[in-house]
Structure 1
Amino acid sequence: MICKIVIAFISLVGLASCQIYDIGTCPLDQSPAQFQMDKFYGKWYEIARVENGVVAGETCVTFNISSQTSYLSGHPVTQTGYDKTGKLEYVYIGNLETWDDNFLLEYGEYPYGFNILDTDYDNYAVVLGCGLFPPLGYWFPFLLVRVRVAWILSRTPTIDHALQAQLIKTLTSGGVGKSKLIFPSTVNCPANY
Protein backbone atom coordinates (compact mmCIF):
# COMPACT_ATOMS: atom_id res chain seq x y z
CA MET A 1 0.00 0.00 0.00
CA ILE A 2 2.79 2.43 0.92
CA CYS A 3 4.51 1.69 -2.40
CA LYS A 4 1.31 2.64 -4.29
CA ILE A 5 1.03 5.90 -2.31
CA VAL A 6 4.67 6.77 -3.03
CA ILE A 7 4.26 6.03 -6.75
CA ALA A 8 1.07 8.13 -6.86
CA PHE A 9 2.87 11.00 -5.08
CA ILE A 10 5.83 10.80 -7.47
CA SER A 11 3.46 10.79 -10.45
CA LEU A 12 1.62 13.89 -9.23
CA VAL A 13 4.83 15.76 -8.47
CA GLY A 14 6.22 14.74 -11.87
CA LEU A 15 3.15 16.05 -13.68
CA ALA A 16 3.24 19.31 -11.76
CA SER A 17 6.84 20.17 -12.55
CA CYS A 18 7.48 18.07 -15.68
CA GLN A 19 10.79 16.72 -14.47
CA ILE A 20 11.17 12.98 -14.83
CA TYR A 21 10.56 11.33 -11.45
CA ASP A 22 10.81 7.60 -11.10
CA ILE A 23 12.14 4.90 -8.86
CA GLY A 24 15.68 3.80 -9.59
CA THR A 25 19.29 4.74 -9.19
CA CYS A 26 21.19 7.39 -11.10
CA PRO A 27 23.51 5.96 -13.74
CA LEU A 28 27.23 6.20 -13.23
CA ASP A 29 29.17 8.43 -15.57
CA GLN A 30 28.01 7.97 -19.16
CA SER A 31 30.26 10.68 -20.56
CA PRO A 32 32.58 9.74 -23.44
CA ALA A 33 35.68 7.88 -22.25
CA GLN A 34 38.02 10.47 -23.75
CA PHE A 35 35.99 13.50 -22.60
CA GLN A 36 38.07 16.72 -22.71
CA MET A 37 36.72 19.23 -20.18
CA ASP A 38 38.96 22.02 -21.47
CA LYS A 39 37.09 21.91 -24.81
CA PHE A 40 33.68 21.99 -23.08
CA TYR A 41 34.12 25.38 -21.39
CA GLY A 42 32.32 28.41 -22.75
CA LYS A 43 28.81 29.39 -23.75
CA TRP A 44 26.11 26.87 -24.66
CA TYR A 45 22.60 27.70 -25.93
CA GLU A 46 19.67 25.55 -24.91
CA ILE A 47 17.95 23.93 -27.89
CA ALA A 48 15.74 21.52 -25.93
CA ARG A 49 15.21 20.47 -22.33
CA VAL A 50 13.07 18.41 -20.05
CA GLU A 51 10.88 21.12 -18.53
CA ASN A 52 11.48 21.59 -14.85
CA GLY A 53 10.12 23.77 -12.09
CA VAL A 54 13.20 26.00 -11.98
CA VAL A 55 12.99 27.24 -15.56
CA ALA A 56 9.37 26.43 -16.44
CA GLY A 57 8.24 28.52 -19.39
CA GLU A 58 11.58 30.27 -19.86
CA THR A 59 13.19 30.87 -23.24
CA CYS A 60 16.59 32.04 -24.42
CA VAL A 61 18.39 29.90 -21.84
CA THR A 62 22.19 29.77 -21.88
CA PHE A 63 24.85 28.04 -19.83
CA ASN A 64 28.28 29.58 -19.51
CA ILE A 65 30.85 27.18 -18.05
CA SER A 66 33.96 28.98 -16.85
CA SER A 67 37.44 27.55 -17.27
CA GLN A 68 38.40 29.28 -14.00
CA THR A 69 38.13 27.25 -10.83
CA SER A 70 35.77 28.47 -8.14
CA TYR A 71 36.28 28.62 -4.40
CA LEU A 72 34.31 25.35 -4.30
CA SER A 73 37.05 23.62 -6.34
CA GLY A 74 34.87 23.27 -9.42
CA HIS A 75 34.02 25.49 -12.36
CA PRO A 76 31.37 28.21 -12.07
CA VAL A 77 28.31 27.72 -14.29
CA THR A 78 26.11 30.73 -15.01
CA GLN A 79 22.66 29.82 -16.32
CA THR A 80 20.48 32.66 -17.61
CA GLY A 81 16.95 32.65 -18.93
CA TYR A 82 14.46 35.15 -20.30
CA ASP A 83 10.69 35.32 -20.28
CA LYS A 84 8.63 35.24 -23.47
CA THR A 85 8.90 39.01 -23.90
CA GLY A 86 12.71 38.99 -23.85
CA LYS A 87 13.04 40.29 -20.26
CA LEU A 88 15.81 38.73 -18.15
CA GLU A 89 14.00 36.40 -15.77
CA TYR A 90 16.73 34.67 -13.79
CA VAL A 91 20.44 34.08 -13.36
CA TYR A 92 21.58 30.97 -11.50
CA ILE A 93 25.14 30.42 -10.44
CA GLY A 94 26.14 26.81 -10.00
CA ASN A 95 29.30 24.82 -9.64
CA LEU A 96 30.45 22.02 -11.94
CA GLU A 97 33.05 19.74 -10.46
CA THR A 98 34.63 16.42 -11.22
CA TRP A 99 34.21 13.81 -8.53
CA ASP A 100 35.40 10.20 -8.95
CA ASP A 101 35.45 10.67 -12.76
CA ASN A 102 31.84 11.93 -12.68
CA PHE A 103 30.57 15.47 -13.13
CA LEU A 104 28.49 17.01 -10.37
CA LEU A 105 26.41 20.13 -11.05
CA GLU A 106 25.32 21.91 -7.90
CA TYR A 107 22.63 24.59 -7.75
CA GLY A 108 21.81 25.17 -4.11
CA GLU A 109 21.84 22.19 -1.80
CA TYR A 110 20.81 19.41 -4.20
CA PRO A 111 23.45 18.22 -6.66
CA TYR A 112 22.76 16.51 -9.98
CA GLY A 113 25.06 14.01 -11.60
CA PHE A 114 25.90 15.60 -14.95
CA ASN A 115 26.50 13.19 -17.84
CA ILE A 116 27.57 14.43 -21.25
CA LEU A 117 26.13 11.68 -23.44
CA ASP A 118 27.56 13.12 -26.65
CA THR A 119 29.41 16.23 -27.81
CA ASP A 120 31.69 17.39 -30.59
CA TYR A 121 32.70 20.40 -28.40
CA ASP A 122 32.27 22.90 -31.27
CA ASN A 123 28.59 22.48 -32.19
CA TYR A 124 26.46 20.38 -29.85
CA ALA A 125 26.19 18.57 -26.54
CA VAL A 126 23.62 16.13 -25.16
CA VAL A 127 23.42 16.28 -21.36
CA LEU A 128 21.56 14.13 -18.85
CA GLY A 129 21.28 15.10 -15.19
CA CYS A 130 20.13 12.85 -12.39
CA GLY A 131 19.83 13.24 -8.62
CA LEU A 132 18.02 11.83 -5.64
CA PHE A 133 14.68 13.50 -5.08
CA PRO A 134 14.74 15.39 -1.79
CA PRO A 135 13.55 14.78 0.80
CA LEU A 136 12.44 11.21 0.09
CA GLY A 137 15.71 10.08 -1.48
CA TYR A 138 17.71 11.24 1.51
CA TRP A 139 15.37 10.20 4.31
CA PHE A 140 14.26 6.94 2.73
CA PRO A 141 17.11 5.77 0.50
CA PHE A 142 15.49 2.36 0.11
CA LEU A 143 12.86 4.03 -2.10
CA LEU A 144 15.53 5.08 -4.61
CA VAL A 145 13.49 8.04 -5.85
CA ARG A 146 15.34 9.97 -8.52
CA VAL A 147 14.71 13.05 -10.61
CA ARG A 148 16.14 13.40 -14.11
CA VAL A 149 16.59 16.41 -16.36
CA ALA A 150 18.11 16.66 -19.84
CA TRP A 151 19.30 19.21 -22.38
CA ILE A 152 20.33 19.46 -25.99
CA LEU A 153 22.83 22.32 -26.16
CA SER A 154 24.49 24.13 -29.05
CA ARG A 155 27.24 26.69 -29.46
CA THR A 156 24.76 28.75 -31.52
CA PRO A 157 21.10 29.65 -30.81
CA THR A 158 19.83 27.25 -33.50
CA ILE A 159 20.80 23.82 -34.73
CA ASP A 160 20.34 21.86 -37.97
CA HIS A 161 17.14 19.76 -37.91
CA ALA A 162 18.90 16.56 -39.04
CA LEU A 163 21.47 16.93 -36.25
CA GLN A 164 18.69 17.70 -33.76
CA ALA A 165 16.91 14.46 -34.72
CA GLN A 166 20.16 12.53 -34.18
CA LEU A 167 20.64 14.12 -30.74
CA ILE A 168 17.07 13.28 -29.74
CA LYS A 169 17.87 9.63 -30.53
CA THR A 170 20.90 9.88 -28.24
CA LEU A 171 18.69 11.14 -25.40
CA THR A 172 16.15 8.40 -26.10
CA SER A 173 18.88 5.79 -25.71
CA GLY A 174 19.71 7.51 -22.38
CA GLY A 175 16.13 7.02 -21.20
CA VAL A 176 14.56 10.37 -22.15
CA GLY A 177 12.07 10.23 -25.01
CA LYS A 178 11.17 13.09 -27.36
CA SER A 179 7.75 13.46 -25.70
CA LYS A 180 9.50 14.63 -22.51
CA LEU A 181 11.39 17.43 -24.32
CA ILE A 182 10.32 20.99 -24.97
CA PHE A 183 11.92 23.19 -27.64
CA PRO A 184 11.81 26.79 -26.38
CA SER A 185 11.28 29.56 -28.92
CA THR A 186 14.13 31.96 -29.61
CA VAL A 187 11.91 34.52 -31.39
CA ASN A 188 12.04 37.26 -28.72
CA CYS A 189 15.56 36.61 -27.47
CA PRO A 190 17.71 39.70 -27.07
CA ALA A 191 20.61 40.15 -29.47
CA ASN A 192 23.74 38.37 -28.25
CA TYR A 193 21.90 36.77 -25.32
Structure 2
Amino acid sequence: MSAVYLVLLLLPLISAQTYHWGPCPSPAVQPNFQLEKYLGKWYEIEKLPTSFARGKCIEANYSLRKDGTIRVLNAQIEKDKLSTAEGTAVVRDMRERAKLGVSFSYFTPYSPYWVLTTDYTSLVVVYSCNDIFRLFHVDFAWILSRSRSLPEATVHYAKDLLTKEGIDISRMRPTDQSCTDLF
Protein backbone atom coordinates (compact mmCIF):
# COMPACT_ATOMS: atom_id res chain seq x y z
CA MET A 1 0.00 0.00 0.00
CA SER A 2 2.88 2.38 0.69
CA ALA A 3 3.97 2.06 -2.96
CA VAL A 4 0.57 3.39 -4.03
CA TYR A 5 1.02 6.43 -1.78
CA LEU A 6 4.50 6.99 -3.20
CA VAL A 7 3.14 6.86 -6.74
CA LEU A 8 0.43 9.36 -5.83
CA LEU A 9 3.03 11.68 -4.34
CA LEU A 10 5.27 11.42 -7.41
CA LEU A 11 2.56 12.02 -10.01
CA PRO A 12 2.52 15.83 -9.68
CA LEU A 13 6.31 15.86 -10.09
CA ILE A 14 6.16 13.90 -13.31
CA SER A 15 3.06 15.51 -14.79
CA ALA A 16 5.18 17.15 -17.49
CA GLN A 17 6.82 13.83 -18.28
CA THR A 18 5.68 10.83 -20.28
CA TYR A 19 5.04 7.84 -18.09
CA HIS A 20 3.65 4.35 -18.64
CA TRP A 21 2.84 1.35 -16.50
CA GLY A 22 5.45 -1.39 -16.24
CA PRO A 23 9.23 -1.42 -16.50
CA CYS A 24 11.36 0.48 -19.01
CA PRO A 25 11.80 -0.89 -22.52
CA SER A 26 15.32 -1.83 -23.53
CA PRO A 27 15.93 -0.50 -27.06
CA ALA A 28 18.96 -1.34 -29.15
CA VAL A 29 21.72 1.28 -29.14
CA GLN A 30 24.22 2.54 -31.73
CA PRO A 31 26.79 -0.20 -32.41
CA ASN A 32 30.45 0.86 -32.29
CA PHE A 33 29.54 4.26 -30.81
CA GLN A 34 32.40 6.76 -31.17
CA LEU A 35 32.18 9.37 -28.42
CA GLU A 36 34.84 11.60 -29.99
CA LYS A 37 32.68 12.07 -33.11
CA TYR A 38 29.61 12.74 -30.96
CA LEU A 39 31.13 15.64 -29.00
CA GLY A 40 30.14 19.18 -29.91
CA LYS A 41 26.89 21.08 -30.27
CA TRP A 42 23.50 19.49 -30.91
CA TYR A 43 20.14 21.24 -31.28
CA GLU A 44 16.90 19.78 -29.98
CA ILE A 45 14.48 19.18 -32.87
CA GLU A 46 11.75 17.21 -31.07
CA LYS A 47 11.32 15.58 -27.66
CA LEU A 48 8.94 13.96 -25.26
CA PRO A 49 7.86 16.53 -22.64
CA THR A 50 10.24 17.18 -19.74
CA SER A 51 9.93 19.31 -16.65
CA PHE A 52 13.49 20.61 -17.03
CA ALA A 53 13.47 21.85 -20.63
CA ARG A 54 10.35 23.80 -21.48
CA GLY A 55 11.94 26.74 -23.26
CA LYS A 56 12.86 27.35 -26.86
CA CYS A 57 16.13 27.24 -28.80
CA ILE A 58 17.30 24.29 -26.71
CA GLU A 59 20.83 23.12 -27.41
CA ALA A 60 23.38 20.85 -25.80
CA ASN A 61 27.14 21.00 -26.04
CA TYR A 62 29.27 17.98 -25.14
CA SER A 63 33.00 18.24 -24.48
CA LEU A 64 35.61 15.95 -22.98
CA ARG A 65 37.12 16.89 -19.62
CA LYS A 66 40.70 16.09 -18.61
CA ASP A 67 39.43 13.44 -16.15
CA GLY A 68 37.72 11.53 -18.98
CA THR A 69 34.17 12.56 -18.09
CA ILE A 70 32.00 14.49 -20.50
CA ARG A 71 30.89 18.03 -19.78
CA VAL A 72 27.26 18.54 -20.74
CA LEU A 73 26.17 22.16 -21.12
CA ASN A 74 22.49 22.58 -21.90
CA ALA A 75 21.05 25.97 -22.80
CA GLN A 76 17.60 27.31 -23.59
CA ILE A 77 15.64 30.52 -23.74
CA GLU A 78 12.99 30.45 -21.05
CA LYS A 79 10.77 33.46 -20.36
CA ASP A 80 13.03 35.58 -22.61
CA LYS A 81 16.15 34.73 -20.54
CA LEU A 82 19.07 32.43 -21.21
CA SER A 83 19.02 29.46 -18.88
CA THR A 84 21.87 26.96 -18.65
CA ALA A 85 22.52 23.73 -16.81
CA GLU A 86 25.89 21.99 -16.57
CA GLY A 87 26.14 18.29 -15.98
CA THR A 88 28.44 15.33 -16.33
CA ALA A 89 28.12 12.31 -18.56
CA VAL A 90 30.07 9.08 -18.26
CA VAL A 91 30.40 5.93 -20.31
CA ARG A 92 29.11 3.36 -17.86
CA ASP A 93 30.33 0.23 -19.64
CA MET A 94 33.11 0.28 -22.24
CA ARG A 95 31.45 -2.71 -23.97
CA GLU A 96 28.33 -0.58 -24.58
CA ARG A 97 29.74 2.89 -25.15
CA ALA A 98 26.41 4.24 -26.47
CA LYS A 99 24.84 3.74 -23.02
CA LEU A 100 25.94 6.81 -21.13
CA GLY A 101 24.85 8.09 -17.75
CA VAL A 102 24.13 11.80 -17.17
CA SER A 103 23.78 13.75 -13.95
CA PHE A 104 23.20 17.43 -13.31
CA SER A 105 23.89 17.31 -9.57
CA TYR A 106 26.41 15.74 -7.23
CA PHE A 107 23.47 14.48 -5.21
CA THR A 108 21.61 12.59 -7.92
CA PRO A 109 22.56 9.29 -9.53
CA TYR A 110 23.38 9.07 -13.21
CA SER A 111 20.31 8.73 -15.42
CA PRO A 112 20.43 6.63 -18.57
CA TYR A 113 21.30 8.49 -21.77
CA TRP A 114 21.26 5.97 -24.58
CA VAL A 115 22.26 6.89 -28.11
CA LEU A 116 19.97 4.75 -30.28
CA THR A 117 21.38 5.98 -33.57
CA THR A 118 23.61 8.74 -34.90
CA ASP A 119 25.47 9.62 -38.06
CA TYR A 120 27.54 12.13 -36.00
CA THR A 121 27.06 14.88 -38.60
CA SER A 122 23.33 15.58 -38.70
CA LEU A 123 21.17 13.29 -36.55
CA VAL A 124 21.08 11.62 -33.16
CA VAL A 125 18.19 9.83 -31.47
CA VAL A 126 18.52 9.58 -27.68
CA TYR A 127 16.41 7.65 -25.21
CA SER A 128 16.29 7.64 -21.43
CA CYS A 129 13.99 5.89 -19.02
CA ASN A 130 13.62 5.85 -15.25
CA ASP A 131 11.98 2.79 -13.78
CA ILE A 132 9.95 3.46 -10.61
CA PHE A 133 9.78 0.21 -8.62
CA ARG A 134 8.93 -1.61 -11.87
CA LEU A 135 5.38 -0.27 -11.36
CA PHE A 136 5.76 2.43 -14.00
CA HIS A 137 8.47 4.19 -15.95
CA VAL A 138 9.15 7.72 -17.13
CA ASP A 139 10.26 8.05 -20.77
CA PHE A 140 12.49 10.68 -22.28
CA ALA A 141 13.35 10.82 -25.98
CA TRP A 142 15.08 13.40 -28.10
CA ILE A 143 15.73 13.94 -31.78
CA LEU A 144 18.79 16.18 -32.08
CA SER A 145 20.62 17.70 -35.03
CA ARG A 146 23.83 19.60 -35.73
CA SER A 147 21.62 22.34 -37.22
CA ARG A 148 18.43 24.01 -35.97
CA SER A 149 16.28 22.01 -38.40
CA LEU A 150 16.08 18.62 -40.05
CA PRO A 151 14.35 17.48 -43.21
CA GLU A 152 10.90 16.06 -42.45
CA ALA A 153 11.96 12.66 -43.85
CA THR A 154 14.79 12.49 -41.31
CA VAL A 155 12.45 13.35 -38.43
CA HIS A 156 10.05 10.68 -39.68
CA TYR A 157 12.92 8.14 -39.79
CA ALA A 158 13.86 9.00 -36.19
CA LYS A 159 10.27 8.67 -34.98
CA ASP A 160 9.88 5.34 -36.78
CA LEU A 161 13.01 4.07 -35.05
CA LEU A 162 11.65 5.04 -31.61
CA THR A 163 8.30 3.42 -32.37
CA LYS A 164 9.92 0.19 -33.61
CA GLU A 165 11.85 0.04 -30.32
CA GLY A 166 8.59 0.11 -28.37
CA ILE A 167 8.76 3.75 -27.28
CA ASP A 168 5.49 5.69 -27.26
CA ILE A 169 6.09 8.96 -29.10
CA SER A 170 2.48 10.15 -29.16
CA ARG A 171 3.40 13.11 -26.90
CA MET A 172 6.55 14.05 -28.84
CA ARG A 173 6.59 17.72 -29.80
CA PRO A 174 8.82 19.96 -31.94
CA THR A 175 11.12 22.45 -30.24
CA ASP A 176 10.96 26.09 -31.30
CA GLN A 177 14.41 26.77 -32.79
CA SER A 178 13.66 30.23 -34.23
CA CYS A 179 16.70 32.00 -32.79
CA THR A 180 20.45 32.34 -33.18
CA ASP A 181 23.20 30.50 -31.31
CA LEU A 182 23.09 30.96 -27.56
CA PHE A 183 26.87 30.61 -27.16
What secondary structure is seen at the aligned counterpart in 1 of 2:158? helix
CA 65–4 in structure 1, closer or farther in 2 if over 3 Å, else same: closer
What secondary structure is seen at the aligned counterpart in 1 of 2:91? strand
What secondary structure is seen at the aligned counterpart in 2 of 1:66? strand
Q: 2:169 aligns with which of 165, 178, 181?
A: 178
Shift of 1:99: 1.2
The TM-score, its normalising length taken from structure 2, stands at: 0.82
Distance of 1:39 and 1:75 partners within structure 2: 13
Residue-pair matches, total:
176
Partner residue in 2 for 1:93: 86
Structure 1 residue 116 corresponds to structure 2 residue 115 = yes
Contact in 1 for aligned 2:25/2:166 (Cα 8 Å): no
Q: 1:79 aligns with which of 61, 74, 78?
A: 74
Partner residue in 2 for 1:9: 8
Deviations 1:159-193 (A, max 9, x none): 10111111111111233333221112223x2x223
Contact in 2 for aligned 1:59/1:84 (Cα 8 Å): no
Structure 1 residue 45 corresponds to structure 2 residue 43 = yes
Distance of 2:9 and 2:28 partners within structure 1: 25
Paired AA for residue 79 in structure 1: N
Contact in 1 for aligned 2:19/2:136 (Cα 8 Å): no
Contact in 2 for aligned 1:114/1:127 (Cα 8 Å): yes
The TM-score, its normalising length taken from structure 1, stands at: 0.78
Paired AA for residue 51 in structure 2: G
Contact in 1 for aligned 2:20/2:136 (Cα 8 Å): yes
Contact in 2 for aligned 1:131/1:146 (Cα 8 Å): yes
Distance of 1:4 and 1:97 partners within structure 2: 31
Partner residue in 2 for 1:105: 102
Distance of 1:3 and 1:175 partners within structure 2: 30
Question: Identity of counterpart residues, as a percentage?
Answer: 23
> Please, which runs of 5 or more residues in structure 1 have no aligned partner?
138-142
CA 84–154 in structure 1, closer or farther in 2 if over 3 Å, else same: farther
CA 183–7 in structure 1, closer or farther in 2 if over 3 Å, else same: farther
Distance of 2:5 and 2:22 partners within structure 1: 10
Contact in 2 for aligned 1:116/1:126 (Cα 8 Å): yes
What secondary structure is seen at the aligned counterpart in 2 of 1:156? coil
* Higher helix content, 1 or 2: 1
Shift of 1:145: 4.3
Shift of 1:7: 9.6
Contact in 2 for aligned 1:43/1:155 (Cα 8 Å): yes
Pairing 1:96-175 to 2, within 5 Å after superposition: 96-100=89-93, 101=96, 102-108=99-105, 109-133=108-132, 137=133, 143=134, 145-175=136-166
CA 111–147 in structure 1, closer or farther in 2 if over 3 Å, else same: farther
Distance of 2:129 and 2:137 partners within structure 1: 7
What secondary structure is seen at the aligned counterpart in 2 of 1:17? coil
Q: Relative contact order, CA 8 A, sep 6+: which one is greater?
A: 2
